[in-house]
Structure 1
Amino acid sequence: MQEPASDKLKTNDGVRAASKRRPAGTKFDFMVVSNRLPVDRCTSEGTEDDDGGWRRSPGGLVTALAPLMTKADGAWVGWHGAPDETVRPFSHEGMDLVPVQLSSDDVELYYEGFSNATLWPLYHDVIAPPEFHRAWWDSYRKVNRKFADAVSRHAADGATIWVQDYQLQLVPRLLREARPDLRIGFFNHIPFPPPEIFAQLPWRKEIIDGLLGADLLGFQRPSDAGNFMRSARRFLGASVKQQQVHVKGPDGAITHIARAQAFPISIAVEQISDLAKNPAIIERSRQIREDLGNPKTVLLGVDRLDYTKGIRHRLKAYEELLDEGLIKVEDATLIQVASPSRERVEQYRLLREEIEGTVGHINGTYDTIQNTAVRYLHHSYPVEEMVALYLAADVMLVTALRDGMNLVAKEYVTARTQDTGALILSEFTGAADQLKQALLINPHDIDGMKNAIMRAVNLPVREARRRMKGMRKQILTHDVDHWSADFLGALNEKVVRDDS
C-alpha cells in the first residue's frame, strides 16, 4: 500500500524523495533494469511535489513495458539522470521506480567512458576507434554492481528480471551469484560484433561471462545472436549446442542453460497510427510543406547525432545530386533532424561541427532566396511533431552505417496510412531484415545511394503502394507489445537440457 501524498519528504542535503513511495522492504515479482529510469525530471520551477516533478520518457521501450509492469506488480531500476543526488524509490503513473545513484565520476567513467567510448564504437564495427582504459573498466564493474545490488534488495523470491542493453552486461552474472532463485533475461538493443572485432576488448572474457549469467539473451538479429555464441565458444571455451550455452559453475557442474535468440524490437504501432490519422497532425504536415515552399519532393532524415547514422554519407550523396542537376533546389528539400547526443564526448562535438559545416556549405552553394536545400534541425521533437514530419515527407532516408534496429524506419512506415511514400534503408540496420520492400542500399556506396534517391523520387505510384503495403503489414503484426510478449514468453519457458 502506497503512502499518501501528504507524507512526502522535502529535499534536504542532496536527498530527494518522491511523494508516493512503497513501504520500506517492498519486494517485486517483475523488474526491468536499464541505465535510465523511464521518467525525466520536469524543469518547471516551483514544483515541490516530486511526483508532479517527473514526466514519463518518450520511447518504445517505456511504452511497451509500462503497462506490463503495472499488471505484474513490477518495478523499474535505473539512474534518474542527475549525478551526485540521492532519490528514494517512488511511484509515478502506476510504475514503481527504484533509482540507482551515480556520482559525477561514475557518469564520466562508466557512461561517457566505457559504455560510449569503448563499447559503443566496438559494437558498431569500429566506425570510430574504441578507447580502452582500465579506470573506465573499473568504474563499469562498480556501477554494474550497484545496479545488481539494487535489484537483489527489491526482488521477490523467484522474480523475473529483465536487464536492458550494453551498459549493464555484467549484471546478469552478478545477479545469478547473489540470487540464484531469479529468472534473468537480458536484451541487447545494439549490434553484437563478430568475434574478430570483439577480440580487441581487453575484458572480453568478463563481458561474455557476465552475459552468460542470464537464462535468455535477446538480440535484434540472428547474426548478433550467432556472433555472441561464437564469442562464447572462442573466448570462454563454452559448450554451445544450437542456441544454448551450458554454463558451468566453479566445480565444473552445469548451473543453468543460457539461450541466445533474435527478438527484433518494434514500435507502439497504435500510437503512431492514431496520430497519423489525427486531423490536427495532418494539417501540421500540410503546414510544414507550405513553410518549405511546397516543393515537389520532401526528403527526410531523422537521427540522433551519431557517427553510426551515416548522416555525412547522406549529405554527400544529396550534394552531388544537386551539383549534377539531377535534383534542383526549386523542386526538393532535405529536412535533417539531428537530435543532440552525448555532447560532452569529444567525438560527438567534432561530428556536430562537421555536419553543421557541411550543411552550411550546401546551403551557401545551392540556396535561393525562396528555396533551401537542407533544413537542418538540431533538436529533439515530441512524437506528434515527428509524425507530422513523417506525413510531410515523400522519401525517408535511413542510411545508418550500423544500427541495432532503427525504429525511425518503422515509425515512418506506420505513419504512411495511405500506403504512399518511399523508404530508403541501409542494409546494415536490423530493420532491413524485416522491411525487405524498402529500397535497400549500402550507405558506403555513394553512387548507389544517389541512384536509390532518384528511384525513390520517381517511384511509380503503384510500386510505391505495393512496397509500403508490404512493410506496413509486417510492422502492424509485429509491434512492440508482440516483442515484449515473445521475449518474456521465451524467458519463462521450461528448458529441457540436452546432455547428449
Structure 2
Amino acid sequence: RYPKLVAARVALSAADVDIFYKRFSKEAFWPTLHTFWERASFHEEHWNVFLDVNRRFAERAAAEAAEGAVIWIHDYNLWMVPAYLRELRPDLTIAFFHHTYFPSADVFNVLPWRRQIVGSLLQCDYIGFHIPRQAENFVDVARGVMPIETLEKVNCAPRFFTYGCAVGLEEMTSEIEVAGRRIGLGAHPVGLDLGRVQGALDDEAVQARIGELREELKGQKLVLSVERLDFTKGILEKLIAWETLLEENPELRGKVTLVTICVPAAQGMTIYDELQTQIEQTVGRINGRFAQIGWMPLQFFFRSVPFEQLVAYYAVADVMWITPLRDGLNLVAKEYVATQGKTGGCGVLVLSEFAGAAAELRGAILTNPHDPHELVTTCYLALTLSRDEARSRLAEAFDSVRYYDIALWGSEFMAAVRAHARGG
C-alpha cells in the first residue's frame, strides 16, 4: 500500500517498552497532559529509561537521514528526540507534531522534567498541534522556561472557532525566536482517510451488518459511544448522565438504547483497573433499574471492534455521544460524521467542548462533560432535534471532514515546514 515507505527498526527490549510506554508515558505524562496531574506518578529511574529510548530513536534517525533531510517526529513519547538529533545532525530540518492535548502552563509545569522537555522541543524548526489553543499553551509553557520573542501572530478564523467553545482562540502565535533561532508553530488537525470509510461501506458484510442492526433496533433510536478505557474519556460521567436521562424522561424508556464500545487498555497496564470496576458496577446498576422485557437501556461492549464493524454502527446511530473530559482531537467524531455524510444520514454529533475537534467541527452540539446537567440536556436535545436541523448540522460538519482529509493534513503540514525553512 505504501511502496515508497521504508521502515527502520529501533530495537527495544520488553522491559524497555514496559517502562518507556506502559509505566512512564502512560502513568506520568499522559495524566498530566490531560490535566489529571493528581493521577500521575513520577520516577527518576523511569525518566532515565525514557531518555535512553529517545536517544536510540534519534541515533537511528540520524543514521538513516540524507543530508539536509526533513525529520518528522510524532508525539510526546519522543519529546527528547529533537535535542539528541540536533546535536547529532545539525544539518537536518526537524519537525514535530504533538498528537496529544497540550495543557496550560500551570498544569504542564507540574512535570519535574519540564525544562528538559521544552528545551528539546525548542530544537525543532517547526512544531504542529491540532488546534490553536494547544499551540498557544505551548508558547506559554516555553516562555516560563526561557526568554522568547514572539515574531508573528495569525487569526484563527475562519477555520477554527474563536469563541463559544472551551478550546476556541481568536489569535495564535505562529513564529517565535529563541536564542537566535526561529521556530514556526501551526495548528493542523489530523484528518481522515475517507477512502477507508467508503471502502468499509462498500463491503457486503458491512452492509449486511447495517441491515441486522436496523432490524435489532426495530424503530428504537440508537445513541452510540466509542472510546478507549481511559479516565480522560469521561465514560463514567456519561453513564451516570444516561441514568439521569432515563430517570427524568420516562417516555424515552423502551424507545432509545445506548451502545457503548469500550476498547480495553493495553495488556499489562494497571492504571485503569479501578475505573473498569466502577464502569462495570454502573452498567449493572443502570440495566438493573430500567431494563424491560425486550429492551435493554444500555449495551456495553468491552472489547476492541474492527473498523468495518464500527462503520456499521456509525451508519445506524441517531446520536454519536463523544464526551471526553480532555482530548487532543478525537477522530471517532470525524469517522461518524464521514459515515453519516456518505450514507445521506442525518445523525447528530454531541461533542465535548474540551475535545480538540470541537474547535473545527461546526454543526456538532457542544457539551461540557464536567457539568452533569448539561450532559443530560444536550443528549436529550440531540434525540429530539428535528430532521431538518439534524441534516443541516451534519452537512456543515461533513463539509469540513470531507475537505480537510488526511492527505491534505500531511501535505499542508509539510508545506508549512518547508516554507518556514525557506524563511517564508
Give the aligned residue type for 1:197: V
* Cα distance in structure 1, aligned partners of 2:293 and 2:62: 62
Corresponding residue to 2:192 among 267, 273, 276? 267
Check the 8 A contact 1:257/1:497 in 2, yes or no: no
* Cα distance in structure 1, aligned partners of 2:266 and 2:35: 19
* Pairs within 5 Å for 1:330-409: 330-409=254-333
**How far 1:369 moved relative to its partner?**
3.2
Corresponding residue to 1:457 among 383, 393, 407? 383
Matched position secondary structure for 1:476: helix
Give the aligned residue type for 2:177: H
* Cα distance in structure 2, aligned partners of 1:469 and 1:277: 21
Stretches of structure 1 that go unaligned for 5 or more consecutive residues are: 1-65, 72-94, 249-253
Please name the residue that 2:177 is paired with: 246
TM-score, length-scaled by structure 1: 0.77
Give the aligned residue type for 2:45: A
TM-score, length-scaled by structure 2: 0.90
Please name the residue that 2:209 is paired with: 284
* Cα distance in structure 2, aligned partners of 1:361 and 1:379: 20
Check the 8 A contact 2:126/2:420 in 1, yes or no: no
Corresponding residue to 1:171 among 75, 81, 86? 81
Q: CA offsets per residue over residues 206-250 of structure 1, 9 Å max, x none? A: 0001111211100011011111111111112233433323243xx
Give the aligned residue type for 1:408: V
- Structure 2 vs 1, CA of residues 234 and 327 (structure 1 numbering), >3 Å: closer, same or farther? farther
* Cα distance in structure 2, aligned partners of 1:162 and 1:351: 35
Structure (1 or 2) with the greater helix fraction: 2
Please name the residue that 1:317 is paired with: 241
Q: CA offsets per residue over residues 447-482 of structure 1, 9 Å max, x none? A: 111111111111101101100001101111100111
Matched position secondary structure for 2:53: helix
* Cα distance in structure 2, aligned partners of 1:485 and 1:342: 32
Please name the residue that 1:206 is paired with: 116
How well do the aligned residues superpose, as a CA RMSD in angstroms? 1.8
Corresponding residue to 1:101 among 4, 7, 11? 11
Give the aligned residue type for 2:29: L
Please name the residue that 1:411 is paired with: 335
**How far 1:298 moved relative to its partner?**
0.5
* Cα distance in structure 2, aligned partners of 1:210 and 1:361: 48
Please name the residue that 2:130 is paired with: 220
- Structure 2 vs 1, CA of residues 461 and 469 (structure 1 numbering), >3 Å: closer, same or farther? same
**How far 1:280 moved relative to its partner?**
4.1
* Cα distance in structure 2, aligned partners of 1:475 and 1:420: 15
Please name the residue that 1:48 is paired with: none
Check the 8 A contact 2:37/2:110 in 1, yes or no: no
- Which structure has more relative contact order (CA 8 Å, sep 6+)? It is 2
Matched position secondary structure for 2:39: coil
Check the 8 A contact 1:165/1:187 in 2, yes or no: yes
Q: CA offsets per residue over residues 109-162 of structure 1, 9 Å max, x none? A: 221222111111111012652111111111111110011111111111122211
The count of residues paired between Structure 1 and Structure 2 equals: 401
Please name the residue that 1:445 is paired with: 371
Q: CA offsets per residue over residues 10-62 of structure 1, 9 Å max, x none? A: xxxxxxxxxxxxxxxxxxxxxxxxxxxxxxxxxxxxxxxxxxxxxxxxxxxxx
Corresponding residue to 1:431 among 357, 360, 383? 357
**How far 1:327 moved relative to its partner?**
5.2
* Cα distance in structure 2, aligned partners of 1:104 and 1:241: 45
Q: CA offsets per residue over residues 86-121 of structure 1, 9 Å max, x none? A: xxxxxxxxx322121222332232212221111111
Stretches of structure 2 that go unaligned for 5 or more consecutive residues are: 153-173
* Cα distance in structure 1, aligned partners of 2:146 and 2:345: 49
Give the aligned residue type for 2:327: D
Give the aligned residue type for 2:137: N
Please name the residue that 2:52 is paired with: 142
* Cα distance in structure 2, aligned partners of 1:273 and 1:384: 10
Matched position secondary structure for 1:490: helix
Check the 8 A contact 1:191/1:224 in 2, yes or no: yes
